[in-house]
Structure 1
Protein backbone atom coordinates (compact mmCIF):
# COMPACT_ATOMS: atom_id res chain seq x y z
CA UNK A 1 0.00 0.00 0.00
CA UNK A 2 2.75 2.43 0.92
CA UNK A 3 4.69 1.45 -2.21
CA UNK A 4 1.67 2.11 -4.44
CA UNK A 5 1.14 5.42 -2.68
CA UNK A 6 4.77 6.34 -3.26
CA UNK A 7 4.58 5.40 -6.94
CA UNK A 8 1.42 7.44 -7.45
CA UNK A 9 2.18 10.43 -5.23
CA UNK A 10 5.96 10.91 -5.53
CA UNK A 11 5.97 12.04 -9.18
CA UNK A 12 3.40 14.68 -8.22
CA UNK A 13 5.60 15.91 -5.37
CA UNK A 14 3.14 14.69 -2.73
CA UNK A 15 3.85 12.60 0.35
CA UNK A 16 1.85 10.50 2.77
CA UNK A 17 1.78 12.36 6.08
CA UNK A 18 -1.23 10.74 7.78
CA UNK A 19 -2.81 7.27 7.73
CA UNK A 20 -6.01 8.80 6.35
CA UNK A 21 -4.13 9.55 3.13
CA UNK A 22 -3.50 5.81 2.71
CA UNK A 23 -7.24 5.26 2.98
CA UNK A 24 -7.78 7.87 0.26
CA UNK A 25 -5.79 5.67 -2.12
CA UNK A 26 -8.31 2.87 -1.57
CA UNK A 27 -11.40 5.01 -2.17
CA UNK A 28 -11.59 4.42 -5.96
CA UNK A 29 -12.29 0.72 -5.53
CA UNK A 30 -13.42 0.46 -1.88
CA UNK A 31 -15.66 3.52 -1.64
CA UNK A 32 -16.64 4.70 1.82
CA UNK A 33 -15.40 1.44 3.37
CA UNK A 34 -11.76 2.43 2.63
CA UNK A 35 -11.27 4.41 5.84
CA UNK A 36 -12.66 1.57 7.96
CA UNK A 37 -10.53 -1.02 6.19
CA UNK A 38 -7.41 1.11 6.70
CA UNK A 39 -8.29 1.61 10.37
CA UNK A 40 -8.65 -2.16 10.89
CA UNK A 41 -5.41 -2.77 8.96
CA UNK A 42 -3.45 -0.29 11.09
CA UNK A 43 -4.94 -1.72 14.28
CA UNK A 44 -4.02 -5.24 13.17
CA UNK A 45 -0.49 -4.16 12.24
CA UNK A 46 -0.07 -2.47 15.60
CA UNK A 47 -1.26 -5.47 17.59
CA UNK A 48 0.77 -7.98 15.59
CA UNK A 49 3.92 -5.91 16.16
CA UNK A 50 3.08 -5.42 19.82
CA UNK A 51 2.46 -9.11 20.47
CA UNK A 52 5.48 -10.35 18.51
CA UNK A 53 7.90 -7.88 20.07
CA UNK A 54 6.45 -8.43 23.53
CA UNK A 55 6.82 -12.20 23.34
CA UNK A 56 10.33 -11.97 21.92
CA UNK A 57 11.38 -9.52 24.61
CA UNK A 58 9.92 -11.61 27.43
CA UNK A 59 11.57 -14.79 26.12
CA UNK A 60 14.96 -13.04 25.97
CA UNK A 61 14.45 -11.51 29.42
CA UNK A 62 13.49 -14.86 30.95
CA UNK A 63 16.40 -16.59 29.22
CA UNK A 64 18.72 -14.05 30.81
CA UNK A 65 17.25 -14.79 34.25
CA UNK A 66 17.37 -18.57 33.61
CA UNK A 67 13.57 -18.90 33.84
CA UNK A 68 11.23 -20.88 31.57
CA UNK A 69 11.16 -19.54 28.01
CA UNK A 70 8.23 -21.49 26.54
CA UNK A 71 5.47 -19.24 25.23
CA UNK A 72 2.98 -21.26 27.28
CA UNK A 73 4.88 -20.76 30.56
CA UNK A 74 3.37 -18.53 33.23
CA UNK A 75 6.30 -16.05 33.46
CA UNK A 76 6.06 -15.39 29.71
CA UNK A 77 2.28 -15.04 29.76
CA UNK A 78 2.26 -12.71 32.79
CA UNK A 79 5.19 -10.65 31.51
CA UNK A 80 3.51 -10.20 28.12
CA UNK A 81 0.25 -9.22 29.80
CA UNK A 82 2.02 -6.59 31.92
CA UNK A 83 3.83 -5.19 28.86
CA UNK A 84 0.61 -4.98 26.85
CA UNK A 85 -1.26 -3.29 29.72
CA UNK A 86 1.51 -0.71 30.11
CA UNK A 87 1.58 -0.11 26.34
CA UNK A 88 -2.20 0.29 26.28
CA UNK A 89 -2.06 2.86 29.09
CA UNK A 90 0.63 4.79 27.22
CA UNK A 91 -1.47 4.74 24.04
CA UNK A 92 -4.56 6.07 25.81
CA UNK A 93 -2.66 8.94 27.44
CA UNK A 94 -0.66 9.84 24.34
CA UNK A 95 -2.16 12.92 22.65
CA UNK A 96 -0.01 12.95 19.51
CA UNK A 97 -0.38 11.25 16.17
CA UNK A 98 -0.71 7.44 16.30
CA UNK A 99 1.77 7.29 13.42
CA UNK A 100 4.30 9.09 15.60
CA UNK A 101 3.75 6.55 18.38
CA UNK A 102 4.27 3.65 15.96
CA UNK A 103 7.45 5.36 14.72
CA UNK A 104 8.77 5.74 18.28
CA UNK A 105 8.00 2.08 19.01
CA UNK A 106 9.83 0.96 15.86
CA UNK A 107 12.87 3.07 16.71
CA UNK A 108 12.88 1.63 20.24
CA UNK A 109 12.81 -1.87 18.75
CA UNK A 110 15.63 -0.95 16.38
CA UNK A 111 17.68 0.23 19.35
CA UNK A 112 16.94 -2.85 21.46
CA UNK A 113 17.71 -5.36 18.70
CA UNK A 114 21.47 -4.58 18.53
CA UNK A 115 21.74 -5.34 22.25
CA UNK A 116 20.39 -8.83 21.59
CA UNK A 117 22.71 -9.04 18.59
CA UNK A 118 25.70 -8.19 20.78
CA UNK A 119 25.08 -11.20 23.02
CA UNK A 120 24.53 -13.47 20.03
CA UNK A 121 27.76 -12.22 18.47
CA UNK A 122 29.65 -12.74 21.72
CA UNK A 123 28.15 -16.21 22.07
CA UNK A 124 29.60 -17.41 18.76
CA UNK A 125 33.07 -16.56 20.05
CA UNK A 126 32.73 -18.66 23.22
CA UNK A 127 34.86 -21.79 23.37
CA UNK A 128 32.22 -23.91 25.13
CA UNK A 129 29.70 -23.26 22.34
CA UNK A 130 32.09 -24.57 19.70
CA UNK A 131 33.47 -27.40 21.84
CA UNK A 132 34.34 -30.44 19.77
CA UNK A 133 34.27 -28.50 16.48
CA UNK A 134 36.75 -26.38 14.60
CA UNK A 135 36.33 -22.69 15.36
CA UNK A 136 34.05 -21.22 12.69
CA UNK A 137 36.37 -18.33 11.82
CA UNK A 138 34.49 -17.33 8.66
CA UNK A 139 31.17 -17.37 10.51
CA UNK A 140 32.66 -15.38 13.39
CA UNK A 141 34.11 -12.80 11.00
CA UNK A 142 30.83 -12.56 9.05
CA UNK A 143 28.82 -12.21 12.24
CA UNK A 144 31.12 -9.47 13.53
CA UNK A 145 30.95 -7.51 10.24
CA UNK A 146 27.15 -7.88 10.14
CA UNK A 147 26.84 -6.73 13.73
CA UNK A 148 29.01 -3.67 13.11
CA UNK A 149 26.91 -2.84 10.05
CA UNK A 150 23.72 -3.03 12.15
CA UNK A 151 25.28 -0.74 14.74
CA UNK A 152 26.09 1.87 12.09
CA UNK A 153 22.58 1.69 10.61
CA UNK A 154 21.04 1.96 14.09
CA UNK A 155 23.26 4.93 14.89
CA UNK A 156 22.08 6.75 11.78
CA UNK A 157 18.42 5.94 12.59
CA UNK A 158 18.76 7.22 16.16
CA UNK A 159 20.52 10.39 15.00
CA UNK A 160 17.77 10.99 12.43
CA UNK A 161 15.10 10.41 15.09
CA UNK A 162 16.67 12.94 17.47
CA UNK A 163 17.00 15.47 14.65
CA UNK A 164 13.34 14.86 13.70
CA UNK A 165 12.08 15.40 17.26
CA UNK A 166 14.29 18.41 17.96
CA UNK A 167 13.03 20.26 14.88
Structure 2
Protein backbone atom coordinates (compact mmCIF):
# COMPACT_ATOMS: atom_id res chain seq x y z
CA UNK A 1 0.00 0.00 0.00
CA UNK A 2 2.76 2.48 0.98
CA UNK A 3 4.71 1.45 -2.15
CA UNK A 4 1.68 2.25 -4.35
CA UNK A 5 1.11 5.57 -2.54
CA UNK A 6 4.61 6.82 -3.32
CA UNK A 7 4.91 5.19 -6.76
CA UNK A 8 3.94 8.31 -8.69
CA UNK A 9 5.19 10.90 -6.22
CA UNK A 10 8.04 12.87 -7.72
CA UNK A 11 8.11 16.34 -9.32
CA UNK A 12 5.42 17.67 -6.98
CA UNK A 13 7.60 16.80 -4.01
CA UNK A 14 10.40 18.90 -5.48
CA UNK A 15 7.94 21.81 -5.74
CA UNK A 16 7.02 21.32 -2.06
CA UNK A 17 10.73 21.19 -1.26
CA UNK A 18 11.18 24.50 -3.08
CA UNK A 19 8.46 26.49 -1.31
CA UNK A 20 9.32 25.26 2.20
CA UNK A 21 12.56 27.15 2.47
CA UNK A 22 14.08 28.96 5.45
CA UNK A 23 12.05 32.08 4.58
CA UNK A 24 8.80 30.12 4.84
CA UNK A 25 9.95 28.43 8.06
CA UNK A 26 10.85 31.80 9.61
CA UNK A 27 7.58 33.44 8.52
CA UNK A 28 5.50 30.50 9.82
CA UNK A 29 7.42 30.68 13.11
CA UNK A 30 6.64 34.40 13.50
CA UNK A 31 3.00 33.81 12.49
CA UNK A 32 2.64 31.21 15.25
CA UNK A 33 4.50 33.23 17.90
CA UNK A 34 2.64 36.49 17.21
CA UNK A 35 -0.84 35.29 16.22
CA UNK A 36 -1.21 31.71 17.52
CA UNK A 37 -3.43 29.50 15.34
CA UNK A 38 -5.35 32.50 13.89
CA UNK A 39 -3.51 32.58 10.56
CA UNK A 40 -3.69 28.86 9.71
CA UNK A 41 -6.50 29.69 7.26
CA UNK A 42 -4.01 31.68 5.16
CA UNK A 43 -1.99 28.48 4.69
CA UNK A 44 -5.15 26.55 3.69
CA UNK A 45 -5.87 29.27 1.08
CA UNK A 46 -2.24 29.11 -0.10
CA UNK A 47 -2.38 25.33 -0.49
CA UNK A 48 -5.53 25.52 -2.67
CA UNK A 49 -4.05 28.32 -4.81
CA UNK A 50 -0.75 26.47 -5.23
CA UNK A 51 -2.46 23.20 -6.23
CA UNK A 52 -4.57 25.01 -8.88
CA UNK A 53 -1.59 26.83 -10.48
CA UNK A 54 0.89 23.95 -10.22
CA UNK A 55 -1.61 21.50 -11.76
CA UNK A 56 -1.89 23.86 -14.76
CA UNK A 57 1.92 24.08 -15.04
CA UNK A 58 2.28 20.29 -14.80
CA UNK A 59 -0.44 19.68 -17.41
CA UNK A 60 1.23 22.18 -19.73
CA UNK A 61 4.62 20.47 -19.31
CA UNK A 62 3.30 16.98 -20.03
CA UNK A 63 1.11 17.86 -23.03
CA UNK A 64 3.52 20.30 -24.71
CA UNK A 65 6.74 18.56 -23.56
CA UNK A 66 8.16 22.07 -23.09
CA UNK A 67 9.11 24.19 -20.11
CA UNK A 68 6.95 27.22 -19.23
CA UNK A 69 9.56 29.73 -20.43
CA UNK A 70 9.79 27.87 -23.78
CA UNK A 71 5.98 27.98 -24.22
CA UNK A 72 5.82 31.69 -23.34
CA UNK A 73 8.66 32.39 -25.79
CA UNK A 74 6.87 30.56 -28.61
CA UNK A 75 3.32 31.83 -27.90
CA UNK A 76 3.95 35.58 -27.49
CA UNK A 77 4.35 36.66 -31.10
CA UNK A 78 5.07 40.38 -30.61
CA UNK A 79 8.91 40.63 -30.65
CA UNK A 80 9.11 43.56 -28.22
CA UNK A 81 6.71 42.04 -25.67
CA UNK A 82 8.49 38.70 -26.09
CA UNK A 83 11.90 40.22 -25.28
CA UNK A 84 10.50 42.15 -22.32
CA UNK A 85 8.94 38.97 -20.93
CA UNK A 86 12.17 37.00 -21.32
CA UNK A 87 14.08 39.82 -19.60
CA UNK A 88 11.59 39.96 -16.73
CA UNK A 89 11.64 36.18 -16.30
CA UNK A 90 15.44 36.00 -16.37
CA UNK A 91 15.74 38.93 -13.94
CA UNK A 92 13.22 37.60 -11.44
CA UNK A 93 14.15 33.93 -11.52
CA UNK A 94 17.89 33.81 -12.24
CA UNK A 95 18.96 36.99 -10.40
CA UNK A 96 16.29 36.49 -7.75
CA UNK A 97 17.25 32.92 -6.99
CA UNK A 98 20.92 33.89 -6.87
CA UNK A 99 20.19 36.49 -4.21
CA UNK A 100 17.87 34.20 -2.22
CA UNK A 101 20.31 31.28 -2.35
CA UNK A 102 22.40 32.74 0.49
CA UNK A 103 19.26 32.68 2.64
CA UNK A 104 18.57 29.04 1.72
CA UNK A 105 22.09 27.99 2.66
CA UNK A 106 22.02 30.11 5.83
CA UNK A 107 18.75 28.42 6.85
CA UNK A 108 20.24 24.93 6.54
CA UNK A 109 23.30 26.23 8.37
CA UNK A 110 21.13 27.43 11.30
CA UNK A 111 19.71 23.91 11.65
CA UNK A 112 23.21 22.41 11.87
CA UNK A 113 24.45 25.11 14.24
CA UNK A 114 21.56 24.57 16.65
CA UNK A 115 22.80 20.99 17.11
CA UNK A 116 26.58 21.25 16.56
CA UNK A 117 27.30 24.91 17.31
CA UNK A 118 29.10 27.40 15.08
CA UNK A 119 32.32 26.46 13.26
CA UNK A 120 34.08 29.70 12.27
CA UNK A 121 37.58 29.75 10.75
CA UNK A 122 39.80 32.69 9.86
CA UNK A 123 40.80 32.87 6.18
CA UNK A 124 43.08 35.76 5.17
CA UNK A 125 41.61 37.94 7.90
CA UNK A 126 37.98 37.02 7.07
CA UNK A 127 35.71 35.00 9.36
CA UNK A 128 34.27 32.13 7.31
CA UNK A 129 31.40 29.89 8.46
CA UNK A 130 32.29 26.29 7.57
CA UNK A 131 28.68 25.05 7.90
CA UNK A 132 27.64 27.00 4.78
CA UNK A 133 30.40 25.26 2.82
CA UNK A 134 29.09 21.89 4.07
CA UNK A 135 25.56 22.73 2.81
CA UNK A 136 27.03 23.97 -0.49
CA UNK A 137 29.05 20.77 -1.03
CA UNK A 138 26.01 18.54 -0.36
CA UNK A 139 23.88 20.59 -2.81
CA UNK A 140 26.68 20.58 -5.40
CA UNK A 141 27.13 16.78 -5.29
CA UNK A 142 23.39 16.12 -5.62
CA UNK A 143 23.05 18.52 -8.56
CA UNK A 144 26.30 17.54 -10.31
CA UNK A 145 25.34 13.86 -10.51
CA UNK A 146 22.77 15.19 -12.99
CA UNK A 147 20.47 12.16 -12.81
CA UNK A 148 16.82 13.15 -12.45
CA UNK A 149 15.74 9.95 -10.65
CA UNK A 150 18.59 10.19 -8.17
CA UNK A 151 17.88 13.87 -7.50
CA UNK A 152 14.17 13.15 -7.12
CA UNK A 153 14.77 10.35 -4.59
CA UNK A 154 17.24 12.46 -2.61
CA UNK A 155 14.80 15.37 -2.38
CA UNK A 156 11.84 13.10 -1.54
CA UNK A 157 13.92 11.67 1.33
CA UNK A 158 14.78 15.17 2.56
CA UNK A 159 11.16 16.36 2.28
CA UNK A 160 9.91 13.34 4.22
CA UNK A 161 12.61 13.95 6.85
CA UNK A 162 11.56 17.60 7.05
CA UNK A 163 7.85 16.68 7.23
CA UNK A 164 8.31 14.12 9.99
CA UNK A 165 10.56 16.50 11.96
CA UNK A 166 8.15 19.44 11.92
CA UNK A 167 4.99 17.34 12.44
CA UNK A 168 6.53 15.51 15.45
CA UNK A 169 7.59 18.88 16.89
CA UNK A 170 3.99 20.13 16.55
CA UNK A 171 2.60 16.97 18.20
CA UNK A 172 5.08 17.29 21.08
CA UNK A 173 3.63 20.73 21.96
CA UNK A 174 0.20 19.06 22.57
CA UNK A 175 -1.96 21.64 20.77
CA UNK A 176 -5.75 21.92 21.12
CA UNK A 177 -7.22 20.27 17.99
CA UNK A 178 -10.44 22.33 18.09
CA UNK A 179 -8.40 25.55 18.12
CA UNK A 180 -6.36 24.30 15.16
CA UNK A 181 -9.55 23.57 13.16
CA UNK A 182 -10.96 27.01 13.98
CA UNK A 183 -7.70 28.66 12.92
CA UNK A 184 -7.64 26.68 9.66
CA UNK A 185 -11.24 27.22 8.53
CA UNK A 186 -12.46 30.42 10.25
CA UNK A 187 -10.61 33.38 8.67
CA UNK A 188 -9.45 36.01 11.17
CA UNK A 189 -7.20 39.02 10.70
CA UNK A 190 -5.86 40.11 14.10
CA UNK A 191 -4.48 43.64 14.36
CA UNK A 192 -1.09 43.91 12.65
CA UNK A 193 -1.42 40.56 10.84
CA UNK A 194 -2.03 41.75 7.24
CA UNK A 195 1.62 41.70 6.16
CA UNK A 196 2.09 38.25 7.72
CA UNK A 197 -0.99 36.91 5.87
CA UNK A 198 0.33 38.31 2.58
CA UNK A 199 3.76 36.84 3.38
CA UNK A 200 2.36 33.36 4.11
CA UNK A 201 0.55 33.31 0.76
CA UNK A 202 3.48 34.90 -1.08
CA UNK A 203 6.05 32.37 0.18
CA UNK A 204 3.83 29.43 -0.87
CA UNK A 205 2.53 30.63 -4.26
CA UNK A 206 5.90 31.43 -5.86
CA UNK A 207 6.59 32.09 -9.58
CA UNK A 208 9.75 30.02 -9.95
CA UNK A 209 7.87 26.86 -8.91
CA UNK A 210 5.63 27.18 -11.97
CA UNK A 211 8.72 27.09 -14.22
CA UNK A 212 10.33 24.32 -12.17
CA UNK A 213 7.24 22.10 -12.23
CA UNK A 214 6.56 22.40 -15.97
CA UNK A 215 10.19 21.44 -16.67
CA UNK A 216 10.39 18.60 -14.15
CA UNK A 217 7.23 16.74 -15.21
CA UNK A 218 8.56 16.20 -18.73
CA UNK A 219 11.67 14.59 -17.21
CA UNK A 220 9.37 12.10 -15.50
CA UNK A 221 6.32 11.74 -17.77
CA UNK A 222 6.00 11.76 -21.59
CA UNK A 223 2.43 10.62 -22.26
CA UNK A 224 -1.05 12.18 -21.95
CA UNK A 225 -2.09 9.09 -20.00
CA UNK A 226 0.23 10.24 -17.20
CA UNK A 227 -1.88 13.33 -16.43
CA UNK A 228 -3.81 11.53 -13.69
CA UNK A 229 -0.59 10.45 -11.98
CA UNK A 230 0.83 13.97 -12.27
CA UNK A 231 -2.33 15.47 -10.75
CA UNK A 232 -2.22 13.05 -7.82
CA UNK A 233 1.48 13.82 -7.36
CA UNK A 234 0.77 17.58 -7.31
CA UNK A 235 -2.13 17.37 -4.85
CA UNK A 236 -0.45 14.95 -2.40
CA UNK A 237 2.90 16.75 -2.42
CA UNK A 238 1.56 20.27 -1.99
CA UNK A 239 -0.86 19.23 0.76
CA UNK A 240 2.10 17.56 2.49
CA UNK A 241 4.13 20.75 2.09
CA UNK A 242 1.25 22.85 3.40
CA UNK A 243 0.86 20.59 6.45
CA UNK A 244 4.57 21.10 7.19
CA UNK A 245 4.09 24.89 7.14
CA UNK A 246 1.02 24.55 9.38
CA UNK A 247 2.95 22.29 11.78
CA UNK A 248 5.58 25.04 12.16
CA UNK A 249 2.85 27.59 13.00
CA UNK A 250 1.35 25.16 15.52
CA UNK A 251 4.76 24.53 17.14
CA UNK A 252 5.52 28.25 17.37
CA UNK A 253 2.07 29.03 18.82
CA UNK A 254 3.05 27.17 22.01
CA UNK A 255 5.71 29.80 22.75
CA UNK A 256 4.75 33.21 24.09
CA UNK A 257 7.94 35.18 23.63
CA UNK A 258 8.86 38.26 21.65
CA UNK A 259 12.49 37.15 21.53
CA UNK A 260 11.91 34.60 18.78
CA UNK A 261 13.02 35.86 15.36
CA UNK A 262 13.56 32.59 13.46
CA UNK A 263 13.18 28.80 13.67
CA UNK A 264 16.57 28.42 15.37
CA UNK A 265 15.33 30.61 18.26
CA UNK A 266 12.15 28.51 18.36
CA UNK A 267 14.22 25.31 18.62
CA UNK A 268 16.13 26.74 21.59
CA UNK A 269 12.87 27.89 23.25
CA UNK A 270 11.19 24.48 22.86
CA UNK A 271 14.04 22.64 24.61
CA UNK A 272 13.32 23.71 28.23
CA UNK A 273 9.55 23.21 27.76
CA UNK A 274 9.39 19.94 25.84
CA UNK A 275 12.88 18.45 26.13
CA UNK A 276 15.98 18.53 23.95
CA UNK A 277 14.51 16.05 21.47
CA UNK A 278 11.96 18.73 20.39
CA UNK A 279 14.87 21.06 19.68
CA UNK A 280 16.66 18.39 17.63
CA UNK A 281 13.58 17.48 15.58
CA UNK A 282 13.04 21.14 14.69
CA UNK A 283 16.73 21.63 13.87
CA UNK A 284 16.74 18.63 11.51
CA UNK A 285 13.62 20.03 9.81
CA UNK A 286 15.29 23.42 9.38
CA UNK A 287 18.42 21.78 7.93
CA UNK A 288 16.28 19.79 5.45
CA UNK A 289 14.27 22.92 4.50
CA UNK A 290 17.48 24.84 3.83
CA UNK A 291 19.18 22.18 1.77
CA UNK A 292 16.12 21.32 -0.36
CA UNK A 293 15.67 24.99 -1.28
CA UNK A 294 19.43 25.34 -1.84
CA UNK A 295 19.08 22.59 -4.48
CA UNK A 296 15.78 23.57 -6.13
CA UNK A 297 16.49 27.34 -6.49
CA UNK A 298 19.60 26.87 -8.71
CA UNK A 299 17.82 24.04 -10.57
CA UNK A 300 14.82 26.27 -11.36
CA UNK A 301 17.08 29.11 -12.51
CA UNK A 302 18.97 26.74 -14.84
CA UNK A 303 15.70 25.46 -16.38
CA UNK A 304 14.49 29.04 -16.91
CA UNK A 305 17.77 30.11 -18.56
CA UNK A 306 17.65 26.98 -20.76
CA UNK A 307 14.11 27.82 -21.94
CA UNK A 308 14.72 31.55 -22.45
CA UNK A 309 17.90 31.04 -24.48
CA UNK A 310 16.69 27.90 -26.26
CA UNK A 311 19.62 25.75 -25.11
CA UNK A 312 19.65 22.08 -26.02
CA UNK A 313 20.72 19.21 -23.75
CA UNK A 314 19.65 18.00 -20.32
CA UNK A 315 20.73 18.21 -16.70
CA UNK A 316 24.35 17.35 -17.55
CA UNK A 317 24.87 19.94 -20.31
CA UNK A 318 27.66 22.47 -19.67
CA UNK A 319 25.48 25.59 -19.99
CA UNK A 320 22.80 24.16 -17.68
CA UNK A 321 25.43 23.23 -15.10
CA UNK A 322 27.10 26.61 -15.50
CA UNK A 323 23.94 28.46 -14.37
CA UNK A 324 23.26 26.42 -11.24
CA UNK A 325 26.96 26.29 -10.26
CA UNK A 326 27.13 30.11 -10.48
CA UNK A 327 24.02 30.56 -8.32
CA UNK A 328 25.10 27.95 -5.76
CA UNK A 329 28.60 29.43 -5.54
CA UNK A 330 27.21 32.92 -5.03
CA UNK A 331 24.98 31.64 -2.23
CA UNK A 332 27.87 29.86 -0.48
CA UNK A 333 30.11 32.96 -0.68
CA UNK A 334 27.43 35.34 0.62
CA UNK A 335 26.39 33.02 3.48
CA UNK A 336 29.99 32.07 4.43
CA UNK A 337 31.01 35.70 4.93
CA UNK A 338 27.65 36.79 6.31
CA UNK A 339 27.08 39.19 3.39
CA UNK A 340 23.51 40.33 2.80
CA UNK A 341 23.18 41.72 -0.75
CA UNK A 342 20.24 43.97 0.23
CA UNK A 343 19.98 45.90 -3.04
CA UNK A 344 19.99 42.69 -5.13
CA UNK A 345 17.36 41.14 -2.86
CA UNK A 346 15.20 44.28 -3.12
CA UNK A 347 15.50 44.13 -6.91
CA UNK A 348 14.55 40.44 -6.86
CA UNK A 349 11.53 41.14 -4.64
CA UNK A 350 10.30 43.84 -7.03
CA UNK A 351 10.86 41.57 -10.06
CA UNK A 352 9.09 38.65 -8.34
CA UNK A 353 6.25 40.94 -7.24
CA UNK A 354 5.69 41.93 -10.87
CA UNK A 355 6.35 38.44 -12.24
CA UNK A 356 3.90 36.44 -10.09
CA UNK A 357 0.65 38.02 -11.39
CA UNK A 358 2.04 38.32 -14.93
CA UNK A 359 3.06 34.64 -15.09
CA UNK A 360 -0.14 33.47 -13.36
CA UNK A 361 -2.12 35.46 -15.96
CA UNK A 362 -0.08 34.16 -18.92
CA UNK A 363 -0.30 30.59 -17.58
CA UNK A 364 -4.10 30.95 -17.40
CA UNK A 365 -4.12 32.26 -21.00
CA UNK A 366 -1.85 29.48 -22.30
CA UNK A 367 -3.81 26.62 -20.67
CA UNK A 368 -6.92 27.87 -22.48
CA UNK A 369 -5.26 27.72 -25.91
CA UNK A 370 -6.28 24.65 -27.91
CA UNK A 371 -3.29 25.14 -30.19
CA UNK A 372 -1.08 24.33 -27.17
CA UNK A 373 -3.15 21.86 -25.09
CA UNK A 374 -5.77 20.54 -27.54
CA UNK A 375 -8.58 18.88 -25.57
CA UNK A 376 -6.73 19.36 -22.28
CA UNK A 377 -7.52 23.07 -21.90
CA UNK A 378 -8.99 24.41 -18.63
CA UNK A 379 -12.55 23.68 -17.58
CA UNK A 380 -14.86 26.56 -16.51
CA UNK A 381 -14.32 25.73 -12.83
CA UNK A 382 -10.54 25.79 -13.31
CA UNK A 383 -10.80 29.17 -15.05
CA UNK A 384 -12.89 30.68 -12.23
CA UNK A 385 -10.40 29.42 -9.63
CA UNK A 386 -7.48 30.53 -11.80
CA UNK A 387 -8.88 34.03 -12.33
CA UNK A 388 -9.52 34.44 -8.59
CA UNK A 389 -5.90 33.44 -7.88
CA UNK A 390 -4.59 35.85 -10.54
CA UNK A 391 -6.48 38.71 -8.83
CA UNK A 392 -5.01 37.68 -5.45
CA UNK A 393 -1.50 37.56 -6.97
CA UNK A 394 -2.00 41.06 -8.44
CA UNK A 395 -2.76 42.33 -4.93
CA UNK A 396 0.22 40.43 -3.48
CA UNK A 397 2.50 41.66 -6.24
CA UNK A 398 1.53 45.32 -5.74
CA UNK A 399 1.83 44.97 -1.98
CA UNK A 400 5.30 43.42 -2.32
CA UNK A 401 6.54 46.13 -4.68
CA UNK A 402 5.12 48.95 -2.51
CA UNK A 403 6.65 47.37 0.61
CA UNK A 404 10.14 47.44 -0.95
CA UNK A 405 9.77 51.19 -1.62
CA UNK A 406 8.22 51.87 1.80
CA UNK A 407 4.81 52.83 0.35
CA UNK A 408 1.80 51.76 2.39
CA UNK A 409 -1.40 52.06 0.34
CA UNK A 410 -3.35 49.10 1.74
TM-score range, shorter chain: 0.5 to 0.7
* 1:25 Cα deviation after fit: 2.8
CA RMSD, 1 decimal: 4.0
Kept after mapping to 1: 8 A contact 2:361/2:390: yes
Structure 1 unpaired stretches of 5+: none
Per the alignment, residue 146 of structure 1 pairs with 389
User: Distance between the aligned counterparts of 1:8 and 1:41, measured in 2?
Assistant: 18
Counterparts in 2 of 1:134 and 1:75: CA distance versus 1, 3 Å = closer
Out of 318, 325, 333, the position equivalent to 1:81 is 325
Kept after mapping to 2: 8 A contact 1:58/1:80: yes
**In the alignment, structure 1 residue 54 sits paired with structure 2 residue 310:** no
Kept after mapping to 2: 8 A contact 1:59/1:76: yes
Measured against aligned partners, the alpha-carbon deviations of 1:68-88 in whole angstroms (never above 9, x if no partner) come to 363343322221111111222
Kept after mapping to 2: 8 A contact 1:24/1:35: no
Measured against aligned partners, the alpha-carbon deviations of 1:80-117 in whole angstroms (never above 9, x if no partner) come to 11111122222234456xxx9xx97x957953544543
Per the alignment, residue 26 of structure 1 pairs with 270
Range that drifts further, 74-83 or 64-73: 64-73
Measured against aligned partners, the alpha-carbon deviations of 1:95-150 in whole angstroms (never above 9, x if no partner) come to 56xxx9xx97x95795354454344234235452145x497572455434422321
User: Distance between the aligned counterparts of 2:401 and 2:394, measured in 1?
Assistant: 10
Structure 2 unpaired stretches of 5+: 1-168, 170-247
Out of 113, 120, 123, the position equivalent to 2:366 is 123
Kept after mapping to 2: 8 A contact 1:62/1:68: yes
Per the alignment, residue 249 of structure 2 pairs with 3
User: Distance between the aligned counterparts of 1:135 and 1:8, measured in 2?
Assistant: 45
Give me the TM-score of the superposition, normalised by structure 2.
Answer: 0.30
Counterparts in 2 of 1:161 and 1:42: CA distance versus 1, 3 Å = farther
For residue 334 of structure 2, give the secondary structure of its aligned residue in structure 1: helix
Per the alignment, residue 334 of structure 2 pairs with 90
Give me the TM-score of the superposition, normalised by structure 1.
Answer: 0.63
Counterparts in 2 of 1:56 and 1:135: CA distance versus 1, 3 Å = closer
